[in-house]
Amino acid sequence: MSTETYETLHKKSVKTPYRMTNKRNYVPQMLTTVRRQYLALKQKKPTIRRSSGFRNLLWEFKFTEIETTVSKIKQDTDIHHLYKEGFDNLHAGFEEFLTENELEYDYESGHFKIYSSVAVESTDIIRTAGTFYGNEWFSDVVVSSEETAWYGKALLLLEFSAKGLKEPVNLALLRWYEEVQEEEIIYDCPRLWLTDQYTCVYLDSVDMSVHIIPRNNCENEYFVNTYIF
């Protein structure tokens, strides 16, 4: 291997995962990030869902306009704070996705469409809605493999198209949950905490929506409600 190859592997498996941790007890978080990267690649399907599954176009802008778009959205007091959180992490999350999947496209022609809902293969509707019948609805979802399941909160649902891509790329920007590393089991439900890790994943890797609820009197701790499925 060349020096450049080793540097690429070091960035992919060490630098980037470390940057995504909260810098405390970071080794388990880094391993989790690397496993998620592998999982996203493993679950990628050859067919990509077209935009007909999306509903309610919210924003549309060129890739070259991403910074100005993010700035405008962050300054708009009428936009829900979870949308702002998503846009604040969109550029880094998307660039990492491009690097991990080695996608090549014409930079100048890159184009985003952001939607508020989409149907996934399980027929579940994934939503990112600041208001839906009077309430916010940002779906919690699960991405699973034979070995484990990963939970995340959907912040943005997006379609990216550009010259050089055969099909539009359909993605979800997720903020990840992590399992609480304690032996105590409560209600036979997975216990989670919400991390500061954000990743764009292929929409087809999302299995279904799940019901995640806060644990009473505990800061940043949640249960996966397994009793409603």
Domain residue ranges of the chain, discontinuous segments joined by +: 3-224
The reported pLDDT for the residue numbered 185 is 64
Parallel, antiparallel or unpaired: strands 169-179 and 191-202: antiparallel
Residue 75 has pLDDT above 90, yes or no: yes
- pTM for the model stands at 0.79
153 contacts: CB under 8 Å, gap ≥ 6:
138, 139, 140, 141, 174, 175, 177, 194, 212
Q: Which residue do the tokens 């997006």 mark?
A: 158
Q: How confident is the model at residue 184 (pLDDT cuts 50, 70, 90)?
A: low
Rounded average pLDDT over 148-165 = 92
The reported pLDDT for the residue numbered 113 is 96
The reported pLDDT for the residue numbered 23 is 56
Which of 5-14, 130-139, 186-195 has the highest average model confidence (pLDDT)?
130-139
H or E segment and range at residue 26: helix 26-42
Give how far Cα 171 sits from Cα of 1, 30, 90, 94, 199, Å. 33, 23, 11, 9, 10
**What number of other Cβ atoms are within 10 A of residue 78's Cβ?**
5
Q: Which two tokens stand for residue 149?
A: 């399941």
The reported pLDDT for the residue numbered 42 is 47
Residue 152 has pLDDT above 70, yes or no: yes
Q: Are 63 and 107 in contact (CB under 8 A)?
A: yes
Give how far Cα 190 sits from Cα of 22, 24, 103, 126, 226, Å. 21, 22, 35, 21, 8
Residue 171 has pLDDT above 80, yes or no: yes
The reported pLDDT for the residue numbered 182 is 66
More confident residue, 37 or 7: 37
The reported pLDDT for the residue numbered 35 is 59
φ and ψ of 176, to 5 deg: -85, 145
Mean pLDDT value across the chain: 80
The proportion of the chain whose per-residue pLDDT surpasses 90, expressed as a percent, equals 38
126 contacts: CB under 8 Å, gap ≥ 6:
117, 118, 119, 120, 139, 141, 154, 157, 172, 206, 209
Closest CA to 208 of 224, 222, 186: 224
Q: Are 66 and 72 in contact (CB under 8 A)?
A: no
